[in-house]
Structure 1
């Protein structure tokens, strides 16, 4: 994937009707945009100015369930990320959706993850 290490996050936009998330990032010389398409769900933490990206990594979908077990249990009764009766039902729906688990890590600031069908890094220069 196109390198984005040490890029600063300038802004992110969630477009619910288009089902996309765009993250505008920059270095001293380059402008790029990370675009997640056909988003199933996402969670960002520590959203703050001057966030610096370490990596955007695709992990196996099974890791999503292991790494977010507590979150999924806490939010089940709030119909997040969707309505489901059992974790196995949620697992099946996410696997049927054919999404990828993308994990955004930072050396400072915003981090999190996105379940989406596609991710693209666009060079804006």
Structure 2
């Protein structure tokens, strides 16, 4: 587990112009503030927004998992060029790899969970 395990999510920012997402959290042990910063964000999906959301972990998965986990959503949004314009799933995967995106999955003990496609992730 990472050093964000059991952190409470206080708020988050989505800056579409700067392609950045910041999750503001506090550590359960000492109430220290911690920021999870995702840069060069292409797309994201958050679910179960609840006050008191607790992070279990943020893990990076292979991009093939992104396609598998989100096949229905990708098919539904394809004609809207989301998350980018592509012909088929193989082409989408190739483009994401070429552009060096990573698939970050946020799992929770309670509340907010989801995923982010981004090029960088850091904890401050």
Give the TM-score of the pair, scaled to structure 2.
0.91
Q: Deviations over 1:92-116 (max 9, x none)?
A: 2111110111100001111001111
Q: Distance in 2 between matches of 1:57 and 1:18?
A: 23
Greater strand proportion: 1
Q: Is the contact made by 1:2 and 1:121 (CA closer than 8 Å) also made in structure 2? A: no
Runs of 4 or more above 3 Å deviation? none
Instruction: Provide structure 2 residue ranges, at least 5 long, that are not aligned to the other structure.
Output: none
Q: Is the 8 A contact 1:58 1:100 kept in 2?
A: yes
1-side partners of 2:67 and 2:88: how far apart?
13
Partners of 1:86 and 1:2 lie apart in 2 by 35
Please tell me whether the aligned partners of residues 63 and 93 of structure 2 are also in contact (alpha carbons under 8 angstroms): no
SS at 2:67's partner residue? helix
Supply the RMSD in Å over aligned alpha carbons: 1.4
Alpha-carbon distance in structure 1 between the residues aligned to 2:88 and 2:68: 15
1:109 maps to 111
Aligned to 1:22: 22
Q: Using the TM superposition, give the Cα deviation of residue 70 of structure 1 relative to its aligned residue in structure 2, in angstroms.
A: 1.5
Q: In the TM superposition, what is the alpha-carbon distance from 1:2 to its structure 2 partner? A: 4.6
